[in-house]
Amino acid sequence: SAVISQKPSRDICQRGTSLTIQCQVDSQVTMMFWYRQQPGQSLTLIATANQGSEATYESGFVIDKFPISRPNLTFSTLTVSNMSPEDSSIYLCSVRSGGAGDNEQFFGPGTRLTVL
């Protein structure tokens, strides 16, 4: 299994500002994923981040709003830019075990964001 940590665990931000969320994994992984979970909803994939290449964004999500960095195989950041109250969500980092194994997916503890 993979152990994933996220910073910050929660934050309250003002409209129009930006927040960068950090994700650290205890092992090297090829693929990292960023999800959003809006209040009372299930998880929605924002983007897939591979080391050494541009992140791949899902429909409805754009790089200007959610820029992602992936500088190495154990770390990634997601920035939520120009925030509005609609961005209030839990943001979750996730990784998938690689190789020829079962490809189980693991999640971090999440960052709870409230935008006023």
Q: Does the footprint of other proteins cover residue 16 (CB under 8 A)?
A: no
Q: Does the footprint of other proteins cover residue 29 (CB under 8 A)?
A: no
Min. distance of Cβ 25 from other proteins in angstroms? 13
Q: Does the footprint of other proteins cover residue 86 (CB under 8 A)?
A: no
- At residue 86, the 3 state secondary structure works out as helix
Tell me whether strands 10-13 and 111-115 are parallel, antiparallel or unpaired: parallel
Min. distance of Cβ 16 from other proteins in angstroms? 25
Min. distance of Cβ 15 from other proteins in angstroms? 22
CA dihedral 50, 106, 45, 68 (to 10 degrees): -40
- Dihedral sign (CA 111, 11, 113, 21): negative
Q: Which is nearer to other proteins, 77 or 110 (CB)?
A: 110
Token reading at 87 = 């961005």
Task: Give the separation between CA 51 and CA 28, rounded to whole angstroms.
Answer: 10
Q: Which is nearer to other proteins, 65 or 90 (CB)?
A: 90
Question: Could you list the residues that contact other proteins (CB under 8 A)?
Answer: 1, 4, 6, 31, 33, 42-43, 45, 48, 58, 90, 92, 94, 102-110, 112
